[in-house]
Structure 1
């Protein structure tokens, strides 16, 4: 009986944490629509513009990081969180992000075991890499690999995850000819 009560309390704690997380996410409008095509248009608008990061990674590192995530969804992530996490907390977190239409995560945390974010080094090349990755993902009709934290996602859910991920990172990037 005590074990059953402990499991119920633990489950209630997870639900409460998810609810709190949901309401703590920003209410700000996304910089564009929540579809791959919207993100691709936004990235096209950034091409050729001088960009700077408010803090953390450079724009090139951000674009490489987001490209890695998209590429890994097709080819496989180098390291996955434990199966129990990908079957419970990961999908719960994604569900909160998807319902809210916004993601909030540590913006300086690399994908586990991912390559460094230095290649390509130029902002223009890194942005082009990300645009190619989104185009490849949009055209991909095969099986997708499990997300390192969220587990198995449909193509539509993965697309939303990639767009929300990008927008969260873009919150720290600004065009230099605009006021900070």
Structure 2
């Protein structure tokens, strides 16, 4: 390891250590386990409900964002973080989330290079898109694409990531 790599690693480790305290804080109760079937049940329970977001994106935008993430895991993300990030910081963050059984991330940050979150515009259609994305992912048998931040994930790890991602976003969505 050369000096530049060592300095970069030391800086990242320090940032990760300081940030871990913040990211480890719970946001609120989880709606279920990090299981695909539980997430699909949670989503089914939202059908025909009037939902509001306490801040940030509308429920439709949240559903479109979560659907994008699932779809991109099968088709490929439009932009990836640098390889060094996907090989170091990203997997450490995913490991922390997995150990906690919950994710905490910025809830108004779009996937790099992703399309706008305005289609479909209605909450019902966006929720349907998300439910279809989960069903497609559950049935997906081919090799999954690298996550834009975490790098290569198994189907099981990706399922866990998608469910934790959904639950983190649902922390801001409530019945009207």
Does the alignment reach a TM-score above 0.5?
A: yes
Q: CA deviation at 1:109?
A: 0.6
| Structure 1 segments (4+ residues) deviating >4 Å | 4-12
The superposition leaves residues 74-125 of structure 1 with CA deviations (integer Å, 9 ceiling, x where unpaired) of 0000010111100000111111111011111111110001011010010000
Instruction: Describe the SS at the equivalent of 1:52.
Output: strand
CA distance in 2, matches of 1:8, 1:118: 39
Change (3 A) 1:8 1:125: closer
Number of residue equivalences = 174
CA distance in 2, matches of 1:106, 1:115: 18
Instruction: Describe the SS at the equivalent of 1:46.
Output: coil
RMSD of aligned Cα (Å):
2.0
Q: CA deviation at 1:20?
A: 2.5
Q: CA deviation at 1:13?
A: 2.2
Query: 1:132 maps to which residue?
Result: 132
1:92 equivalent to 2:92? Answer yes
Structure 2: give runs of 5+ residues left out of the alignment: none
Change (3 A) 1:162 1:87: same
Within 5 A, what are the aligned runs for 1:165-176?
165-176=165-176
Query: 2:36 maps to which residue?
Result: 36
CA distance in 1, matches of 2:105, 2:9: 28
Query: 1:26 maps to which residue?
Result: 26
- Give TM-score, length-normalised by structure 1: 0.89
Structure 1: give runs of 5+ residues left out of the alignment: none
Q: CA deviation at 1:128?
A: 0.3
